[in-house]
Amino acid sequence: MILRFILGDQLSTSISSLKDFDPQHDRVLMCEVLDEASYVKHHKMKIAFLFSAMRHFAAELAENGVNVDYVKLDTPDNTGSLAGEIARFSKTHNAAKVVVTEPGEYRVLQELNSLDLNLEIRTDTRFICSIDAFKAWAGDKKQLRMEYFYREMRKKTQILMDGERPVGGAWNYDSENRKPPKDGLSVPATYQARTDEITQEVIELVEHRFKDHFGELQHFHFAVTRQQALYALDKFIAERLASFGDYQDAMLESEPWMYHSHLSFYLNCGLLLPLECAEQAENAYRQGAAPLNAVEGFIRQILGWREFVRGIYWLKMPGYGKENFLNAKRKLPPLYWGAPTNMNCLSQCVSETRQHAYAHHIQRLMVMGNFALLAGLAPDEVNEWYLIVYADAYEWVELPNVSGMILFADGGYLASKPYAASGAYINKMSNYCKQCAYKVSKKNGADACPFNYLYWDFLLRNKSSLSNNPRLGMPYRNLARMTDDKIAAIEQDAGNFLQRLESGEKI
């Protein structure tokens, strides 16, 4: 008998661990364990989503004649760890071998490799680029650029291709995808699944067992089955894809979902597959239902960025999480957990994250992330926060995005420059500044937008590390033209603000 172990982010019947499954002899093991739910204090919504999706997936397998051992969190004799449950059931069934698809996270791979069992770890074929193929592509390059990797993925999959040339003649239409929000936008509602008995049982479990975790459960509406996830994909393609390109960087109060797909929850746990999402978007373009800039932008996130960050994660682990190129050491302030702040953009993003375990990529990068970068917050604390609060967060996707893209902690291995910005960017791409206690038009003083002086203070503090970056030539030239009095005002305002932040004052 072969025991097929399926992790909570491998909820696909096409997962490689189920290939050659023998229904007459083999068994599937799935388990909810305390170690996985609490190694960081995950958002309540995240735990409820994954436990519910796992239970639904196990039920689907059982309905199709698969023998499934499913261990709930409160099942008697649950050892509380993945390794403990695999060892327990391997012994119970006298398994000749345990088969598992390679995990997404390095720590889980270490745990699996610690087992004294006949263990076969198979390649995760849901990804378009294997770990070994990415390593071969990276070679001995000193810096990796997603754009060139993305082109290879387009060629490999023949998505949005006319022979050897990209559809439309260009690989990338990102320059067309930066429109600020305009008055009168009508954003369609995101997909909302009905909560069934299984999900309700999980919600009650999470409220009881993880009541001290961040987040709310009142707004739970995630798809928890493949059928629901496919419907969510259809709804995005039909209702939001056409406007996704234009407004993918836009932010509006009380519009947490905007025109984004909200499919990363389902892609990252296996309910959807990347190629089927990319192909459906491509079909929308070829049928005239969505413009090329929107379709290419969506496909780039899947074929390009998602595959790219996963490759970098496995290429650079286990040391990647310790990178701290800018020597940032400041502790994560309470506002990230919902403490009151006068900065409306931060307040909006944290509030929506608390409610939905979601924020779109510009909120994550250019509001929450930009503040963490400019304030010099410690990478380990920022990484832990992002891993906790978002329902689509797993270390393989979170760590490169935060340490590489947001914090520039890897010194530019992933991103060519720090994504630092003043308040002007947030003002352009959102309506947050209209209701803020600070004035985005003011550069200095008690009522000036803190992003304005923190931006220049960040460049000043990190001049020795960043001034030679060719993509920062213009801001450093502008800095060189500033008067001594202007620089002194920047440093004073930033110093006062950061001191108040460290002392726990409302900022």
CATH hierarchy code of domain 131-188+240-316: 1.25.40.80
Mean pLDDT across the stretch 234-250? Answer: 96
Check residue 414 and give its pLDDT. 93
Q: What is the pLDDT of residues 322-381, one digit of tens each?
A: 999 999 999 999 999 999 999 999 999 999 999 999 999 999 999 999 999 999 999 999
Distance separating alpha carbons of residues 489 and 60, to the nearest angstrom: 63
* Residue 293 banded pLDDT, cuts 50, 70, 90: very high
CA distances from 367 to 176, 177, 424, 443 (A): 21, 18, 12, 18
Check residue 429 and give its pLDDT. 96
The pairing of beta strand 97-101 with beta strand 161-162: unpaired
- Strands (E) across 346-438 are located at none
The pairing of beta strand 165-166 with beta strand 2-5: unpaired
SS3 153: helix
Distance separating alpha carbons of residues 437 and 390, to the nearest angstrom: 27
SS3 annotation, 75-127: CCCCCCCHHHHHHHHHHHCCCCEEEEECCCCHHHHHHHHCCCCCEEEECCCCC
Check residue 160 and give its pLDDT. 97
Q: Flag whether pLDDT at 452 surpasses 90.
A: yes
Q: What is the pLDDT of residues 183-192, one digit of tens each?
A: 888 999 999 9
Mean pLDDT across the stretch 92-114? Answer: 97
Check residue 45 and give its pLDDT. 98
Amino acid at 13: T
Q: How many CA atoms lie within 13 A of 237 on its CB side?
A: 21
Alpha helices (H) in 114-184, listed in sequence order: 131-138, 146-157
Q: List the one residue out of 273, 376, 271, 314 whose CA is nearest residue 109.
A: 314
Do residues 281 and 241 make contact, with C-beta atoms less than 8 angstroms apart? Answer: yes
Distance separating alpha carbons of residues 124 and 202, to the nearest angstrom: 28
DSSP class of residue 367? I
pTM of the model: 0.96
Q: What is the pLDDT of residues 39-80, one digit of tens each?
A: 999 999 999 999 999 999 999 999 999 999 999 999 999 999
For 340-354, letters b (16+ CB in 10 Å) and e give ebebbbbbbbbebbb
Do residues 367 and 450 make contact, with C-beta atoms less than 8 angstroms apart? Answer: no
Q: What is the pLDDT of residues 496-507, one digit of tens each?
A: 999 999 999 999
CATH class of the structural domain 2-122: alpha beta
Distance separating alpha carbons of residues 425 and 475, to the nearest angstrom: 14
Q: What angle do CA 354, 360, 363 make, to 5 degrees?
A: 80
Can you say how many angstroms the Cα of residue 44 is from the centroid of all Cα atoms in its chain? Answer: 17
DSSP class of residue 3? E
Check residue 177 and give its pLDDT. 87
Distance separating alpha carbons of residues 19 and 3, to the nearest angstrom: 12
SS3 166: strand
**264, two tokens:** 């990363």
Check residue 176 and give its pLDDT. 86
* Residue 419 banded pLDDT, cuts 50, 70, 90: very high
Q: What angle do CA 346, 423, 259 make, to 5 degrees?
A: 60
Q: List the one residue out of 329, 266, 299, 264 whose CA is nearest residue 150.
A: 299
Distance separating alpha carbons of residues 361 and 369, to the nearest angstrom: 10
Amino acid at 94: N
Q: How many CA atoms lie within 13 A of 290 on its CB side?
A: 26
Q: Flag whether pLDDT at 178 surpasses 90.
A: no
For the chain, the structural domain boundaries read 2-122, 131-188+240-316, 334-503
Alpha helices (H) in 166-325, listed in sequence order: 197-209, 226-239, 241-247, 264-269, 274-286, 292-299, 307-316
DSSP class of residue 300? I
Query: What one-character-per-residue DSSP string does 52-64 give?
Result: HHHHHHHHHHHHT
Output the average pLDDT for the chain.
Answer: 96
**360, two tokens:** 């779109």
* Residue 143 banded pLDDT, cuts 50, 70, 90: confident
Check residue 142 and give its pLDDT. 82
CATH class of the structural domain 334-503: mainly alpha
Distance separating alpha carbons of residues 15 and 6, to the nearest angstrom: 9
